[in-house]
Amino acid sequence: MSIASERYMSKPVVVSVVGTFRGGKSTLINALLGDEIVPSSLVATTATVSVFDFSSTYGATIHFRDAGSLKEATQRIRAAIHDCGGDPAMLLSRLAPPGARLDAELEVALGCYGVLTAAGHVDEDRLEAVFIEPWRARRFFPTPPYSTAFGTDKVIEAASVEALRKELAQYTAFAGAAASFSFDASALSYAVESVVIRGPFALLRSNQVDEVPSLRLADTPGLGDPRASPAAIVRAHLDTGDGIVLNLTHGVWSGDDKEVIRELFVRDRLPDELIVAIGMADQLNVSDLAKVKNRLHSDLESVLRELGASPSEAVRLARVPIIPICALAAVVRHRRAALSSAASAEGEGGEWLLGVRYPGPSEDGTAELSAAIHRAAVAAVPRRSRDIERRRREEARRREAERQRLLEEERQREAAAAARLEEQARIRREQAQRAEEERRRVEAARVAEEARQREAERLRLLAEREAARLRARSPCYSCFLPQYGASNRFRDFVYHLTDSHGLSMSEVESICGVGESTIRNYMSRGLSDSVRDNLKYWMGR
């Protein structure tokens, strides 16, 4: 097993408690831990993910955000300030268009600057005071109030759970949950990324069990919170947790609860990693609880079928533990035990308080839910082994796909190189062919020119021989040769061709290479009547 696999197998098992805000989720966590360490209120109180770990003493570690995670959102704010021209309303419209909410990253960044109200909306006056006024004065872009804490951890040690709860209140709760709202406190709550809370929590003593890694419980922001950042936190935590306790108030599904089911179904984490807790079950009688459990199973099957599961698969995946919980009763019991230190509060039977009987651990559902959480922790070990094997197969497939991709790229490069070589060879062949054709054309022209010259030379020699013969035998040659000189040689030749040999003028044209009119003009130019008559005779006119 690789080092990364060993680390994955040995990392703590994290079971997250998820539910709608104002649905008793914080009370449920307090009931499971046996301490009132998580604040509960009628408004959304949980601002970040709080992870609970076992320790013999109370303490906590506050993890502040890294400044790098806010870089992109900060650049968007800076660009919007530059474009708005100092108008807060225009800046607000650029950050969040009318009718739209801030996205999670921008909401966190603005929250760190302390410009968000208790409901998570941008306060225009604070926006102008924090951003616009420094920009107008000297083009100054501010830093968040708690920027010096970014990227650091703060360790808290406390003597009691009350002291720890008081110390944590400023870090783990939205400022809107406080009686008096403070923008400074709001900025601090947004600057915190996560909190690890340590204490002698009975549920988490399984850390000492060898067969499973250490168990941790996580409190996430409430589903349905109007803010964007809590919803993003819950979605991110669904990827990292090992189990989900879904708290349903009175056993009623909400749209956000069904979204959690969809996320778990997509991630193939049903049914082993889901536990459904029916919150405020003490307000339902026994017969109603049975009906609610049956209805929840049927509703879960319907949701799974809507998500694409087959009927048989939906029935199998819907076999999740559904446990009624009387969380408030458990909290009251723990409170009574802490105040009176009476051992009877830890007994199996219920307790009477102000005429009301509160159920004991075996009756309020905390024992059953704790056992289910432990079973989920134990089941996480083989599931992690399967995850490692699945990741190994995926990595092998990825490597094989990468190898095939590289081979395909190499094949394509070789094919491209061969195509280039073939193209170059074709171009060379075409060039050689054109050169050969040009050589042949030049050679043919040369041969034709030589043949023409030879023919012209032959005709010239023939004409000279005929002229010499004509001079020797022509009776009229002596009458005009002295007068016209050497030019009469041509005329004698023409006369001879037309008279003695009987050639037509077209044939004379082909031999002499000139037209008939040229021959006639040349022959008759400057001749006397007697000579012209003599020529007519010789030409057979």
Say which residue the tokens 């604070």 belong to. 126
- The sign of the CA dihedral 78, 83, 86, 92 is negative
Rounded CA-CA distance 493/486 in Å is: 12
Q: Is 158 helix (H, G, I), strand (E, B) or coil?
A: strand
The reported pLDDT for the residue numbered 52 is: 92
The reported pLDDT for the residue numbered 504 is: 65
Both tokens of residue 217? 């419980």
Report the DSSP beta bridge partners of residue 352.
Answer: 357
The reported pLDDT for the residue numbered 75 is: 86
| Helix residue ranges, H only, 322-365 | 327-340, 361-364
The reported pLDDT for the residue numbered 257 is: 82
Say if residues 534 and 524 touch (Cβ distance below 8 Å): no
Say if residues 52 and 33 touch (Cβ distance below 8 Å): yes
Both tokens of residue 29? 């966590």
The reported pLDDT for the residue numbered 478 is: 40
Say if residues 376 and 320 touch (Cβ distance below 8 Å): no
| Helix residue ranges, H only, 52-206 | 71-84, 88-95, 104-112, 124-127, 133-138, 161-172, 183-191
The reported pLDDT for the residue numbered 355 is: 45
The reported pLDDT for the residue numbered 212 is: 59
The reported pLDDT for the residue numbered 176 is: 43
pTM: 0.67
- Pairing relationship of beta strands 215-219 and 49-54 according to DSSP bridges: antiparallel
The reported pLDDT for the residue numbered 229 is: 59
- Residue 95: closest CA among 134, 65, 67, 124: 124
Look up residue 403 and give its amino acid.
R
The reported pLDDT for the residue numbered 476 is: 44
Rounded CA-CA distance 404/409 in Å is: 8
Return per-residue pLDDT of the chain as tens, 541 residues.
566 666 767 778 888 888 887 778 888 888 888 888 887 654 445 567 889 999 989 999 999 988 888 888 888 888 888 888 777 778 878 887 776 777 778 888 888 888 887 777 788 888 888 888 887 777 778 888 888 889 899 999 998 888 888 888 777 654 444 455 677 777 888 888 889 999 998 888 754 445 556 888 988 887 776 665 566 767 776 777 788 888 887 777 877 788 888 888 887 778 778 899 888 777 777 777 888 888 888 888 888 888 888 888 888 888 888 888 888 877 777 777 766 654 444 444 445 444 445 555 567 788 888 888 888 888 877 877 877 888 889 899 999 999 999 999 999 999 999 999 999 999 999 999 999 999 999 999 999 999 999 998 888 888 888 777 766 654 444 443 333 343 555 566 666 656 665 666 665 655 555 455 555 655 555 444 554 555 455 444 4
Rounded CA-CA distance 152/437 in Å is: 83
Helix (H) or strand (E) holding 376: helix 366-473
Q: Is 242 helix (H, G, I), strand (E, B) or coil?
A: coil
Rounded CA-CA distance 247/532 in Å is: 138
